[in-house]
Each structure stands twice: as C-alpha cells, then as structure tokens.
Amino acid sequence: MKLHNNTIRGVHDALEAIFERGQFADKVIERTLKSNPKWGARDRAFIAETTYEMVRWWRLINYLSPSSNYWDLFGTYWLMQGHELPSWEEFSKLNPAKIKEKYEKLEDPGILESVPEWLYELGKKELGDTWDTELHSLNQEAEVVIRVNTLKTTRERLKNQLLEEGIRTYHVKGYPDALILEERQNIFRSAPFKAGLFEVQDASSQLVAASLAVEPGMRVIDACAGAGGKTLHLAALMENKGKIISMDLEEWKLQQTKLRARRNGIDIIERKVIEGSKTIKRLKDSADRLLLDVPCSGLGVLRRNPDTKWKLSPESIAKVQEAQQEILQSYPSMLKKGGQLVYATCSILPSENEQQVKKFLASEAGKDFELLEEQKVFSHQSGFDGFYIARMIKK
Ligand SMILES: C[S@@+](CC[C@H](N)C(=O)[O-])C[C@H]1O[C@@H](n2cnc3c(N)ncnc32)[C@H](O)[C@@H]1O
C-alpha cells in the first residue's frame, strides 16, 4: 500500500487533538475529514482507520518506539501492521529489525493489549483470566451494526433496499432486528437512512430494550435516555402506542431524540430534563416499565471507542459507580407495583454490574424488588460489545 505524506499529516493532527488536547476521537475524525473535502474516499478511510488503530495500540506503539515524534510513532504502527516503510527522511530514525525483536520478546499483557497498567490490574482483579480473553476481543475493530426500524419496514425488505444502494448486509441468529454491514462504509447518506428505516446500534445494545418486555399502550420511562438510541427501539417494540418519558440530566442530548424520532415516525415520546429529586418524586408509582441505562465506564465498548481507555482513571470509575448506586436507590420509586425495570451498562466490570444490583436489592430502597433475569454479555462470546442487563420486578 502506498503512503501519502498529506494523509499521514491528517492522522498526526487528529492524534495531537486526541492526546494533547483531550478531545474525543470520533469528533476529531469527523472534523478532520470535514475540513479537508478534497480527500477521496480511500484517503478518508485511511485517516479514520489509522487514527482509531493508533489510538487503540497507543501504549504498545510507545513502548516499541518511545518518542514524542509522531512520524516515529506512525512508522512503528506501520511496521506492526506488517508493511515496509518507504525510504523517507521522516522514518530515518527507525530500526525495523530492533522494533521487531522488542515486540517478539514482549510478555507484559498490559502492554501487549495496550491498556493503562492500573486498568489491566483492575480488570484482572475483577474478572481473573476472563479479562485477558475479553480484553483481546475488545481490541478488535467493531463491525457496523444497524437496527431495523420495524415501524417502517422489515429486516428482509431493508436488506434488499440497502442492496439496491450497493450496501451488502447479513444477519446473525439471536438479534431479530439487527443487520451487519459486510463492509465498513458511510450509510448516513443512503436513502433508507434518510427515510428512517434504520438506526446504527450495536447488536448487544439492541438486547437492552428487548429485555424490558414492553407492550403497546404501556407507560414507559427511559430515565437515562441520552440521545435516545434505546428510546427509539422501545417505541418500535411498543408499535408507537402508549407513552415513553425520555429523561436525562442533559437537555442537549434529549434534543437529538426529537429529530431522530421524527425521522423514525415516532410520536409517543415526551422529553423531560431531570432537575433534581423533585422530577423523580413527581413521577412516583407511575410507570409500567423503567429503563435505567446508567452512565458507566464504557469498558464494554472499547472496540468502538478505543480512546476511552486513556481517558478513564480509578477516580472516574469510582465516581460513575457512585452515580449508578444513587440512580438505583431513587429512580425505581417511579415504577408501579408489579412494574418491571432493567438496569443496564455497557461495562463488563462486576463492580458496575451485578455487585451494584446486589447492593440495591439488599438495601431498604430495594426490599420490594426481585431479580428476574441477568445477562452478562461479553464481547469474546457474542462477537459484539460488552454489556450487562438485569431485569427486576417491583413486588
Ligand atoms: C449510557 S448513557 C445513555 C445512552 C442512551 N440510553 C442511548 O441508548 O443512547 C447514560 C446517560 O445517563 C445520563 N446521566 C448521567 N447521570 C444521570 C442521572 N443522575 N440521571 C439521569 N441520567 C443521567 C448521561 O447524560 C447519559 O446520557
């Protein structure tokens, strides 16, 4: 594969924004590509993929070639991919044979899997040997998965509609509304997307709304709704009948649901910003179903967001765990007697998952609740993101 100086510079700029200015990788790549409209499809794919992969393997790359020079780091990454380096001045400081030897001698699993040492140790403490297998899987590139909007089409019909646009997909058993792209490509400009026939949503994430056992006509609260990915899925499962109260602390996130709902043909969503405990108290005993898709470390979605591992800290994980228990202690009061709730995270750490549920059930606030089922979704088993889903009933 031929390297081009200007696209490598594009990667440098993106990495600088991510590592030196702490910006989010997906936003940085979007901006980099937008600001250079002359790059062709192949250049754009090279910049996006190389940036993501260098972020993923950042610790390993820096171990093999300790340097603050982005050319050294890119060159090392390129060699790791099994390519040869062109004889450019920029790569003159690199010694491919030495780098190869250092890599072959490397045994430290935290460096090999390219995670911060504290995170490697935390995962090992919580998950034992499962962590090594899971971490390996979380370092693979994520597939693009879409969720069929069953309010407007069927999976088979959408498959054909996408094929007409040159987009080939396949489906996997156990995920009734999911289609997986055979090849990574921009689908947001396709006619089926603009017509609201699908949303991009990982297959594991699609298990969350499905596990809440909603029915048309119910009153459902999605209490940590964000930009509404799971609200939209709930509305489709409810056949756009009944009511969904979509809540979050952040109004700007709820705003995004508005546009997405319109595109999806959904009109049963009411948005509500949480302004403190009074918002929760006003909704006491009012819901048939409650979704708590709580804030979490995001360790289950490292395939998609590899920069998460460099942004997390032991303190940020402790803070998010505190928020998770606070939500569990107060939000379930919004459920009617006999109603059901789902607590979900996109994390694989027991301390954010089953241990939080156990603590809630043993507490005064959880005494009327019973655990009905629990799914621990690991990436190495499912092939998709890591998730945790627990369904409970208010007795
Ligand atoms: C995992 S994300 C939700 C993703 C969303 N459900 C989706 O499917 O796209 C967690 C959300 O919880 C929100 N959040 C954080 N603390 C909260 C709290 N105390 N109460 C409600 N929402 C909260 C965050 O703003 C964030 O949008």
| Residue 169, domain CATH | 3.30.70.1170
The answer on 171 and 210 residing in a single domain is no
Q: Which of these three, 134, 167, 200, is where a domain ends?
A: 200
Kindly report the backbone phi and psi dihedral angles of residue 324, in degrees, each rounded to the nearest multiple of 5, phi listed first.
-60, -45
Query: Domain for residue 160, yes or no?
Result: yes
The answer on 221 and 332 residing in a single domain is yes
Q: Which residue has the tokens 């005064």?
A: 364
| 248 assigned to a ligand binding site | yes
305: number of Cβ within 10 Å: 20
Q: Which of these three, 130, 165, 200, is where a domain ends?
A: 200
Nearest-CA neighbor of 144 among 179, 115, 120? 179
Residue 325 sits in a domain of what CATH number?
A: 3.40.50.150
Strands 243-248 and 287-293: unpaired
d(CA 108, CA 250): 41
In the chain, DSSP assigns E strands to 145-148, 169-170, 178-181, 198-200, 219-222, 243-248, 269-273, 287-293, 335-345, 369-377, 387-394
The answer on 150 and 45 residing in a single domain is no
The answer on 155 and 40 residing in a single domain is no
Predicted ipTM? 0.99
Query: Domain for residue 57, yes or no?
Result: yes
| Distance between Cα 223 and ligand 1 center (Å) | 7
d(CA 389, CA 377): 8
The answer on 166 and 30 residing in a single domain is no
Ligand 1 atom with the smallest distance to the CA of 208 is 8
The answer on 196 and 60 residing in a single domain is no
Query: Domain for residue 215, yes or no?
Result: yes
The answer on 71 and 215 residing in a single domain is no
The answer on 237 and 315 residing in a single domain is yes
Query: Domain for residue 123, yes or no?
Result: no
The answer on 384 and 252 residing in a single domain is yes
Amino acid at 358: K
Q: Which protein residues touch ligand 1 with a CB less than 6 Å away?
A: 223-230, 248-250, 253, 274, 293, 295, 323, 327
Q: Which of 294, 308, 389 has the most ligand 1 atoms within 8 A of CB, as the residue to mutate?
A: 294
Residue 76 sits in a domain of what CATH number?
A: 1.10.940
Q: Which of 224, 347, 352 has the most ligand 1 atoms within 8 A of CB, as the residue to mutate?
A: 224
d(CA 42, CA 85): 19
| 293 assigned to a ligand binding site | yes
The answer on 241 and 370 residing in a single domain is yes
Lay out the sheet containing 198-200: strands in order across: 169-170, 178-181, 145-148, 198-200
Q: Which of these three, 93, 115, 137, is where a domain ends?
A: 115
Tokens for 358? 């156990």
Tokens for 207? 């298990």
d(CA 327, CA 393): 16
Active site residues: 346
The answer on 170 and 301 residing in a single domain is no
Burial 374-391 (b: 16+ CB within 10 A, else e): ebebbbbebebbbbbbbb
Residue 344 near residue 388 (C-beta atoms within 8 A): yes
| Distance between Cα 249 and ligand 1 center (Å) | 7
d(CA 3, CA 321): 44
H helix and E strand count, the chain:
19, 11
Would the CA dihedral through 255, 147, 349, 302 be positive or negative? negative
| Distance between Cα 237 and ligand 1 center (Å) | 21
Domain that holds residue 287: 204-394
Query: Domain for residue 124, yes or no?
Result: no
Query: Domain for residue 140, yes or no?
Result: no
Per-residue pLDDT of the chain in tens (395 residues, 90 and over written 9): 788 888 999 999 999 999 999 999 999 999 988 888 888 888 999 999 999 999 999 999 999 999 999 999 999 999 999 999 999 999 999 999 999 999 999 999 999 999 999 999 999 999 999 999 999 999 999 999 999 999 999 999 999 999 999 999 999 999 999 999 999 888 998 999 999 999 999 999 999 999 999 999 999 999 999 999 999 999 999 999 999 999 999 999 999 999 999 999 999 999 999 999 999 999 999 999 999 999 999 999 999 999 999 999 999 999 999 999 999 999 999 999 999 999 999 999 999 999 999 999 999 999 999 999 999 999 999 999 999 999 999 99
316-363 residue pLDDT tens: 999 999 999 999 999 999 999 999 999 999 999 999 999 999 999 999
The answer on 263 and 246 residing in a single domain is yes
Query: Domain for residue 126, yes or no?
Result: no
**How many domains are there within the chain?**
3
In 205-308, DSSP assigns E strands to 219-222, 243-248, 269-273, 287-293
Query: Domain for residue 196, yes or no?
Result: yes
